[in-house]
Structure 1
Amino acid sequence: MTQVVSLSLYRFEGAFARAWALAMMGLARPAMARVPGIGFWKLCGSGTGEGFTPVPNFGVYAVLCTWPDMATARRALAETPVFHRYRAKAAEHWTLFMSADTARGAWSGVSPFEPSATTSQGPLAALTRATIKPGILARFWGRVPNISTVIGQDPNVLFKIGIGEVPWLHQVTFSIWPDAARMANFARTGPHAEAIRSVRDEGWFREELYARFTLLGDEGTWGGKSPLKEVLR
């Protein structure tokens, strides 16, 4: 069986819905742990703008999960009460299903993604996750606006969002690209490449993980349409 990874994004409108979503960052944990078939999971907030900023966006939240197979993933997301409550409260929601091509590093002390035997040659998703050392927070977030501007202007980036479990200290970047070559070109040039060199030279992170995914399917909409259908068109 091929492990399936789901990333669900929820957009909330209005003060009451946003307060509910913020509270669920803590209150949803017991229910998430009881979801049938669920493996690794994380509840995340997001940043404003492109998402790659230190200012929280209280209108967008994400839930990342791993599942043993696609049938289990779709059934749990469709039928489990905790996911039903998220959909009922959200003004819009979108779930992307993926399988890992490559993964290295750790997240909360474990390696959550199981690479499959096949690798996509077409559009792919990339995820990076890091726990930032408190002593370098100012330097790290000082670099982020430049990276955010560049990725926001890059026509090769088909979708992008910045999320995280804890504001400022935990950062997850997620993006979709037409192919591995164009993704690698972005990573090796400009502000992003400079930041990577600083990470290596100065040891910015206590923990880090990098993963690449094949896109399997999606449900729902984001911005009134399916980003995946736009990618695969």
Structure 2
Amino acid sequence: MTRNSPATSAPNLSGQVVTMCFFRFRPLRHRLWAFAQMALARRPLARTEGIGFFKLMGAGTGEGFTPKPDTGAVVILTTWPDLATAERQTRDAPVFRRYRARADEVWTIHLTPRSAWGAWSRQMPFQPRGPVGDTAVVALTRATVRLPVLLKFWRRVPDIQRAIGGDANVIFKQGVGEVPWLHQMTFSIWPDTRAMAAFARADGPHARAIAAVRAGNWFAEELYARFSILKSEGSWGGRDPLERLSALQAAE
């Protein structure tokens, strides 16, 4: 199923688009293929017309905020010059067609950057266009954890996972990363900036972890970005991840 953003009447077709493609593989032969593609797909991705920044990532089990990897899940983040190019290439480019042909489940979400701070692989990959009103917001947090504090970091993760999993406002959450345990990215969707900020600022394991990160300089590199939703299609975990967001907005 394809849907426009639940928060806007029509997607903005111009300006940078960031696309997240989630692929689920079940047979062992397809999981092994996907694992090999973490190295082999980089060159064909780089040669794809119109592509900018891209990252191949794995996911954690459950909601992703665990040190145990999910061997059946792959996420590809890409940037494109506009929505038309993003839709066409993630559907028709040979490298994406190969992933789709083997995947049992695919969810694709197209985003427009609204704010960004920090660096990813020593660059800023996103081109923010500013806030788009008080609409649904996607939060992306990516960090490289310093080796000396790796155990300290992961000891705090279970409490954070329980906190975000128990927050009624979060629409979707998934933890992914380029290198297990060292490179971590959280991807979450919230009904609005107020709900996201309330979770981030509330006293609890998340706030205490952030304070520890700042005090101990735990991250070698970090990036924080916020996005608006343009379009999405497909399913993840057997359902449309934006279904509850649409229901919440219909009830307002």
Q: TM-score under structure 1 normalisation? A: 0.97
1:195 pairs with 2:209: yes
Report what 1:6 is aligned to.
19
Report what 2:148 is aligned to.
135
The letter of the residue matching 1:196 is I
1:225 pairs with 2:214: no
94, 102, 105: which one aligns with 2:107? 94
Contiguous gaps of at least 5 residues in structure 1: none
Q: Which moved more, 1:101-110 or 1:13-22?
A: 13-22
Preserved contact between residue 115 and residue 131 of structure 2 (Cα < 8 Å): no
69, 75, 78: which one aligns with 2:88? 75
For 1:201 and 1:118, the matched residues in 2 are separated by 30
Deviations 1:169-222 (A, max 9, x none): 000000000111111111112111001001110000000000010011112111
1:51 pairs with 2:51: no
1:106 pairs with 2:119: yes
Shift of 1:79: 1.0
174, 178, 181: which one aligns with 1:165? 178
1:37 pairs with 2:50: yes
Q: What percentage of aligned pairs have identical amino acids?
A: 54
Matched length: 233
Report what 2:128 is aligned to.
115
163, 176, 199: which one aligns with 1:186? 199
Shift of 1:118: 4.2
Deviations 1:131-184 (A, max 9, x none): 000010000000001001111111111000000000010000000001111111
Deviations 1:77-106 (A, max 9, x none): 111011001111110000001001100000
Report what 1:64 is aligned to.
77
For 1:157 and 1:143, the matched residues in 2 are separated by 20
Preserved contact between residue 95 and residue 218 of structure 1 (Cα < 8 Å): yes
Q: TM-score under structure 2 normalisation? A: 0.90
Preserved contact between residue 217 and residue 228 of structure 1 (Cα < 8 Å): no
For 1:120 and 1:232, the matched residues in 2 are separated by 17
Report what 1:22 is aligned to.
35
For 2:243 and 2:55, the matched residues in 1 are separated by 26
The letter of the residue matching 1:47 is G
The letter of the residue matching 1:46 is A
Segments ≥4 residues shifted beyond 6 Å: none
For 1:96 and 1:147, the matched residues in 2 are separated by 25
Contiguous gaps of at least 5 residues in structure 2: 1-13, 248-252
Shift of 1:225: 2.6
